[in-house]
Amino acid sequence: MNYHFFVGNDNGNSEHDLIIDGKLIQQPNVNCMVDELPWSEEQSPESFIKNLQDQLVVTIDSPAARPGMYYVGKFALESGEILDNLQIGIDLKSDMDLPVVNTLAQIAAIAVQKAFEDEKKIPERVDVEADMATALPVTQHTDETSAKFEKRFMTGTHHVTVHLGIQRVTVNVAFPFAKVVPEATPVIFTLQKDGEGNWRDGEIFREFMESYGIEKKFNGSYFKDKRILHVDIGDGSTEYPITEGNKFLRQFVHGSHHGAGYAIEEALDEFNRLIHLPDSPRQFFSDVIKNPKHKYYARAIKTLKRPLESQVKQIMQNVKRQLTKARNEIDLICVYGGGSILMRSILHPQLAELCEERELQLLYIPAEYAVQLNAMGLDAFARGKIYDALKSKASQTA
């Protein structure tokens, strides 16, 4: 079986959000290296297919990462093994194996699922060519780091064995082209157009329309010439790029080491004490606060309040710094990212007041879209004309 996939790959500090062949995958961005398969008894390989992302075990043989067997994402998080994750504020994503391993694993899993769907049987081997757009934090994105990260994917073929119980499927993944852009910038594509290339409309803009009394038909064409200050709040960093139309204004590159992850790290010791655990990973805490029905939810939120206020204070200072640098010549502030959901009750009123004072509009993306926005933008970028032009140029100079 041979497939060609478009991949929009948002390798977050806490969550891995990818759109592969049009399908959104959201998994904790963790893995762990292991010595043996977790399954001994015979389970039908078909039983793994449907929920493969939640029980993903792969063996990686790649020029870009340490070879070995890995549990990936949710399966790693729940395994009790020692986890590899992105250390916020410390690790350079372009140097690490984790984003490479997890990306290869998720692409291979989709390939196996698609081959099974098409052939109605477990394939022995699948070959995939992937055109991919991914991103690095603004503070880490340089010509050098982006070229290095691109090269890790584009050099050679990556061999991934996907384990369906004790049955194996070989997936060979090659990247004819991969483009690394600064985080947050792909969102300009998402705000304007939907997956079909039409002007975006609907629920994502409802609150914005209500806030500014916009009653007429409203869609993403509104943003095509706007000057936007983005506030992309992740786990380990917040990016504050300014875009104008579809252009990224390089003179306003700015990012800071603030985000939900720092608040969680600060709250983690107190949280562990309250739930009588000597230790638990940041991703476990993240899972608890996403689920109001979790038995530890109230305790997690309680320990998080003060650290979150401290992070919001720092983010507000950085927003003001960018506005000053741009002489307030901004049309709107757009806020999104996983951290924006957690911080909303504290951050939204402060930003709304600031926008009113400086005569700007505030687009605070609703929770159900806030995390996916980067992946959606990267996917749109990978399918777009700019990507095609860059790919064509690269093949001519190769």
CATH tag, 187-375? 3.30.420.40
At residue 9, does pLDDT exceed 70? yes
Question: 30-39, 178-187, 314-323, 366-375: which has the highest mean pLDDT?
Answer: 314-323
Rounded CA gap, 24 and 109, in Å? 13
379 touches 6 (CB < 8 A)? yes
Determine how many CB atoms are found less than 10 A away from the CB of residue 50: 10
Task: Band the pLDDT of 287: cuts 50, 70, 90.
Answer: confident
At residue 40, does pLDDT exceed 80? no
Rounded CA gap, 346 and 340, in Å? 10
Rounded CA gap, 320 and 207, in Å? 23
Cα torsion 65, 100, 159, 168: sign = positive
Task: Band the pLDDT of 89: cuts 50, 70, 90.
Answer: low
At residue 186, does pLDDT exceed 90? no
Q: How far apart are the first and last CA of the chain?
A: 28
Rounded CA gap, 132 and 160, in Å? 17
- pLDDT mean over 146-150: 96
- pLDDT mean over 185-191: 88
What per-residue confidence (pLDDT) applies to 90?
63
Determine how many CB atoms are found less than 10 A away from the CB of residue 91: 16
At residue 398, does pLDDT exceed 80? no
β-strand partners of 179: 133
What per-residue confidence (pLDDT) applies to 323?
97
- Average model confidence (pLDDT) across the chain: 92
Rg from Cα positions in the chain: 21
β-strand partners of 335: 231, 364
Rounded CA gap, 212 and 208, in Å? 6
DSSP 219: -
Helices (H) and strands (E) in the chain, counts: 13, 16
Task: Return the domain boundaries, the chain.
Answer: 2-182, 187-375
Residue whose token pair is 């710094």: 321
Is the CATH number of domain 2-182 3.40.50.2030?
no
DSSP 236: S
| Backbone region of residue 337 per phi and psi (left: phi > 0; alpha: psi in -120 to 50; beta: other values) | left
Rounded CA gap, 190 and 198, in Å? 11
Same fold, 2-182 and 187-375: yes
What per-residue confidence (pLDDT) applies to 284?
85
pLDDT tens digits, one per residue of 246-255: 888 888 888 8
At residue 280, does pLDDT exceed 70? yes
Strands across the sheet with 23-28, in order?
Answer: 23-28, 15-20, 2-11, 125-136, 167-182, 158-164, 56-62, 65-72, 31-34
What per-residue confidence (pLDDT) applies to 279?
82
Q: Please tell me which residue, 132 or 279, carries the higher pLDDT value.
A: 132
